[in-house]
Amino acid sequence: MSAAANVVRLADAGGAAVLLETSRALPLVSISIGLKTGALLDAPGKEGTTRLLSRLMRRTAGGLEAQVIDTRIDSLGGSLGADVAHSTMVFQATVISRSLAAFVDLLVDVLARPGLFEAELERLQRETLAELTDSLDDDRGLARRFFRRRFFGAHPYGRSVSGTPKSVPEITPADARLVFERAFVRDNLVFAFSGDLDGALASRIAQRLSDALPGGVAPVDDTPEPSPVPGRRLVLVDKPDRTQTQILIGCLGSHTRDEDHVALLVANTIFGGTFTARMTQEVRSKRGWSYGAYSNVPFDRRRQSFSMWTFPKADDAGPCLRLELGMLHDLREQGVTKQELSWAKRYLVRSHCFAIDTAAKRVGLALDQALYELPQDYYSRYLERIQAVTLDEANSSVRNRLSEDDLLITVVGTESVVGGAVRAAVDGLASTEVVPFDRVD
């Protein structure tokens, strides 16, 4: 069964695409309202605006107070939240069927009539600053933030979706309203429905929500493709009194429109995509250096980074890093084996059922396809393409896409403890930067 098997695209609602899969299994309706723009709309120096806006809309719908809105949602047996990424924003809602009409009234207030009160924005800014302070205790999150910032540099993907301690206080009500007016136009939306409703009802709801918004022209995503930075670069995020480290190693990765994209997904499954993959076997099972060791090939509208992640104790950071670099070298030079390829293809085909076992998940994949401009047959032919990957294609994808020369290595740990061993583990190191853990720019 493919992800698109039961998902239908209805007639557009005033320029907004409408997706639906009906399921009468439970008296519930799931609604996702996706925008084809996200934090890339934030003005320079105002990072975090779009994320704050999504929360502000949720808290000031229809000009009401946040507590009143929360009580209203609870009384309807519903839930409503928002996720913001660089390229997209998605409002996600679930409600019991009998409350659907009243819940749609609320959604109209959220999308088209938010109060955007200054006092509530200030409250959200304080909450966000507290979250940013708390995040300094999350070493894994720190590794990801510093890795992304240094990997993408001045590219828009290097900017923080959440904002920074410097940018968040600078955001004004006018900034939030400007993003609101640019983003919330009909052509910028995709509606995705699943659950206890039919096409006629879904179309009426989408049309009503769309009619509440202005026409306008959707913002154009003109983000350039990121370029690799030459050389092996090391960023040591110095955090005192750490007995454990977080290590991220990465290079420029894949794009869904690359001919060898699926082949690379298969190869990555073998290398570090599961708990039984090569990385976990070598790092965890054989040496006990880290509980887990994984690699990842994410996607966005533009090319993302391939990355390897481990979290060894401080004494093992240097040997673990050297091992990982050696494993990447061996992967490129020796490739994967026929037996590994056969296993990975079976695993990906069999496990795919967990990605499409509910109507909401299937519609979610169709929504991703629309928001991220994936190839039209990305999910409908996913299993077919997995099964068609040859050994030569898998190994060629690794050699063509993954570099062991142009790498960013980010280590969160106590520099005085791990710095020497980590530097020594990286042959041909082009540059080293030591940065305090609380200097997140």
pLDDT in tens, 143-193: 999 999 999 999 999 999 999 999 999 999 999 999 999 999 999 999 999
pLDDT of residue 2: 55
Q: How far, in Å, CA of 171 to CA of 180, rounded?
A: 13
Does 4 have pLDDT greater than 80? Answer: no
The CATH superfamily label for domain 8-211 reads Metalloenzyme, LuxS/M16 peptidase-like (3.30.830.10)
Does 350 have pLDDT greater than 70? Answer: yes
Percent of all residues in the chain with a pLDDT value above 90, rounded to a whole number = 96
Going by pLDDT thresholds of 50, 70 and 90, the confidence category of residue 6 is: confident
Number of H helices, E strands in the chain: 15, 12
Does 57 have pLDDT greater than 90? Answer: yes
Higher pLDDT, 399 or 439: 399
pLDDT of residue 236: 98
Q: Sign (positive/negative) of CA torsion 313, 317, 321, 327? A: negative
Q: What is the mean pLDDT of the chain?
A: 96
50 contacts 210 by C-beta, under 8 angstroms: no
Helical ranges in 171-316 per DSSP H: 173-183, 199-211, 261-272, 278-280
Q: CATH 3.30.830.10 occupies which residues in the chain?
A: 8-211, 232-436
391 contacts 336 by C-beta, under 8 angstroms: yes
pLDDT in tens, 269-279: 999 999 999 99
Does 1 have pLDDT greater than 60? Answer: no
pLDDT of residue 86: 97
Higher pLDDT, 2 or 266: 266
Does 11 have pLDDT greater than 70? Answer: yes
Which CA distances in Å does 283 have to 196, 321, 328, 423?
47, 10, 13, 19
pLDDT in tens, 66-108: 999 999 999 999 999 999 999 999 999 999 999 999 999 999 9
Chain centroid to CA 131: 19
pLDDT of residue 3: 55
Q: Which helix (H) or strand (E) element contains residue 152?
A: helix 139-152
Does 54 have pLDDT greater than 60? Answer: yes
Q: How far, in Å, CA of 116 to CA of 112, rounded?
A: 11
pLDDT in tens, 423-432: 999 999 999 9
pTM reported for the whole predicted model: 0.93
pLDDT of residue 216: 85
Helical ranges in 184-305 per DSSP H: 199-211, 261-272, 278-280
Average pLDDT over residues 316-326: 98
Q: What tokens appear for 4 in the block?
A: 């698109």
The top-level CATH class assigned to 232-436 is: alpha beta
